[in-house]
Chains A and B, each alone.
Chain A
Amino acid sequence: MSEIPILHFLIISCALFCIGLFAVLTRKNAIMVLIGIEFMLNAAILNLVVFGAFDKVNNAGQMFALFAIVLAAAGVAVALAIIINVHRHYQTIDPNKITSMKN
């Protein structure tokens, strides 16, 4: 831990966050969007873990990371269920084609 600067971890997490965001914004498949969101979440979890390393007393970072992983997984499950539902109705999961409601 000590030999690798925190900054480097954070650069990686920031990059991952932005890559995830890019996926969210551009991919034409709801599942890929979900993957992008997972990237973003993981970037945050990485942050938590990295900072948590300095917080031995409360171990808050790692605990939070653990919870976050669980929550993310649950979120993916629900999201997938919804996406499958959408697929039943629209026969596609391209978010750009599912726009029956708009102004």
Chain B
Amino acid sequence: MELTNLHIAWLVKGMIYSPLISMALVLFLKSRRLSAAISIVTSAISFALAICIFSTIWNKEIIEIRSVWIAIGSVSIDFGFWLDNTTSIMMLLITGITFLVQIYSVDYLANEGQINRYWAHISLFLFAMLGLVVANNLLMLYVFWELVGFSSYLLIGFWYKREKAAIANKKAFIINRIGDLMLLIGIFMLFIQWKTFDLNQLLTFDAGNNAWQTTMGIFLIGGALAKSAQFPFHTWLPSAMEGPTSVSALIHAATMVAAGVYLLVRLSPIFTPVVLLILAIIGAFTAIMAASFALAQMDIKRVLAYSTISQLGLMVMAVGLGSSASALFHLSTHAFFKCLLFLSVGAIIHGLYSLKDKGLDEQDMRNMGGLKLKIPIVFWVYLIAATSLIGLPLFSGFLSKEAILIEAFLWAESRTVWHFIIPITALITTWLTAFYIIRQFALVFLGEAKHPNNTVHDASKYMKWPMIILAFFCFFIFFGFNPFNANSTWIMNGLLTVQEGGIWAIWVPVASLILVPILFIICKAMYVNKSFVLISVDSRFYQFFANAGYFDELYEHTFAKLISILSKISATIDKHIIDVLVDFTASFGLFLAKIFDWLDRKIIDGTVYFVVARVRGIGDFARKFQDGFVQHYIGWAVTGIALLYIFNHFFGL
């Protein structure tokens, strides 16, 4: 059956509104089961509809469904849908992952009170996110953009009783708000330039290369960078880990943070070269920076948070390089494996809840170790996801990551030598990525349990299946039949014409993969076999071999130290420069506020007081004459006459 636009509009509306309805219902439900059920069912409906829409529109003509929302003066704001391949992928991704994460959450948050809030907020998030991706104009996009931020705020603050969560969600929202306003200003500038908010018209405009458009571009990317936690806005994301892990998985790894990339992809046609270059630089820098931060983390979720930032950096870079398709492709693959990583980490944390009772941090990797056998399901899905993140062949991560890297090298090739900094940075990032994720893997799963008598339980039913499903999506087969060529994947094909990698198509995978085994060995030596080294102190020779020629120590003292120092430096920069800047801005704001407050009290009210005092002063002056001496009264009166006369006489009154 051929679906008309009208039908599709209904489908889209159904997809968007079903979570909204669920939110409205769930918000006022006390029942745990019912609220979960409603929320999940509506997500499922959305997912089903998304599939339906996807199948209708994939690789077909772009469909735009318009209806006017507000029309005032020259401004007309639509509430309409823009359905193209990008949208349909995003839709699918969002609804699918949300659905899975929701199922996961049933068990994950089984012991939380007021759980209906959670379901409502997740539904709200889904609604907002879907609205964001189907929006046919920038203002509508902006509306949902903010709503997404709002739901993220609510979800980060789910455990609002925790002081840290309260601070974290505020931080997240405010940093996002900065970006939002930049975006809004950018949208307005765009409106002034082209008198429209519509996305479809955007594509027809000439990118041009003037200062106005560059400024506009900078404002526009500001919003995206904040949402995608890119330098210099990245600090909120690690803090956002204060929310439940399922939220981190869904919002702060798979979907919402990717919205920034989505926006960049959407807007990339109108970016001037300068803006694109800025994007590439910021993306690359963020990628390597975040990756190096991840190395130094001990909190299990923070490692992943930095990892997310780093991966998003790669995507942003890809957009900056003009390769939106690879960015979007990486976005999709990353969504699955990063979500899976989070979910498995969540399962670990959930399994280690008993640590909490002992006053230990259940998220600290130093308290873990040797979990491989205790929680096999989690172990396996984690392994798959991590492998995908590292980008080993046969996994989806390989395809997308290599696509970006190859694009980067191709891009640099056509430019100057200096431009190679960016692809090389990206390459180093992939190494670091491998390093930190192996490190985490080693710390958590390998070795021996730090707290052997601790009870750990594996993923339960509701947690298990979503992870397993996600794990499937980490394999190449879902994206294309050629495990080595990203260009053959359907997503890439569906998005844009892609250029062939040429020589880089061989070089880059080799370069990026060559270190992985070595890194694995190093990590294992450093983090797993450390105890072994310590125990066998008696034989230096033995030790030399046992330690593989003291490579461990060598790494420990050079490599690791260096990395540790570097990461510490980076962390310091983060902490003492960016945060200080943020803090400074905040304190400067407070300072300004104090000044204004003072102004208000002293100057403005002071002026009022001054006036009042003058008034009283005049009154006092008038009063002086009234001294009670009647003769003085007469004297003043006569003086008055004399003065009046003199005035009249000399000045003609």
Interface of A toward B, CB cutoff 8 Å: 21, 24-26, 33, 95-96, 98-103
Contact = CB atoms under 8 A, between A and B. Distances in A.
B629 A95 contact: yes
Of A24, A25, A96, A103, the most chain B CB neighbours within 10 A belong to A103
A101 to B, nearest CB: 6
B628 interface: yes
A99 B626 contact: no
26 contacts: A21-B638, A24-B631, A24-B634, A25-B631, A25-B634, A25-B635, A25-B638, A26-B631, A33-B631, A95-B629, A95-B630, A95-B631, A96-B629, A98-B628, A99-B627, A99-B628, A99-B629, A100-B628, A101-B628, A102-B626, A102-B627, A102-B628, A103-B623, A103-B626, A103-B627, A103-B628
A87 to B, nearest CB: 15
A93 to B, nearest CB: 12
Contact of B631 (A96, A100, A103): A96
A99 B623 CA distance: 14
Main secondary structure of the interface of B (DSSP, over half): helix
Contacts of A24: 631, 634
A51 B629 CA distance: 36
A26 B638 CA distance: 13
Contacts of A25: 631, 634-635, 638
A101 B629 CA distance: 9
A95 B623 CA distance: 19
Interface in B577-630: 623-624, 626-630
A15 to B, nearest CB: 16
Of A21, A26, A95, the most chain B CB neighbours within 10 A belong to A95
Nearest to A23: B631
Contacts of A33: 631
Contacts of B630: 95, 98
List the 9 closest A-B pairs by CB distance, nearest first. Answer: A102-B628, A99-B628, A103-B623, A103-B626, A95-B630, A25-B635, A25-B631, A102-B627, A95-B631
A97 B638 CA distance: 22
Contacts of B624: 103
Nearest to B627: A102
A24 B638 CA distance: 11
A69 to B, nearest CB: 22
A25 B631 CA distance: 5
A102 B638 CA distance: 20
Contacts of A96: 629, 631
Given A21-B638, A24-B631, A103-B627, 13 more contacts: A24-B634, A25-B631, A25-B634, A95-B630, A99-B627, A99-B628, A100-B628, A101-B628, A102-B626, A102-B628, A103-B623, A103-B624, A103-B626
Contacts of B627: 99, 102-103
A25 B624 CA distance: 18
Contacts of A102: 626-628
A40 to B, nearest CB: 10
Contacts of A99: 627-629
Nearest to B622: A103
A96 B629 CA distance: 5
B519 to A, nearest CB: 93
Nearest to A27: B631
A100 B630 CA distance: 12
A100 B638 CA distance: 24
A33 B634 CA distance: 11
A98 B631 CA distance: 11
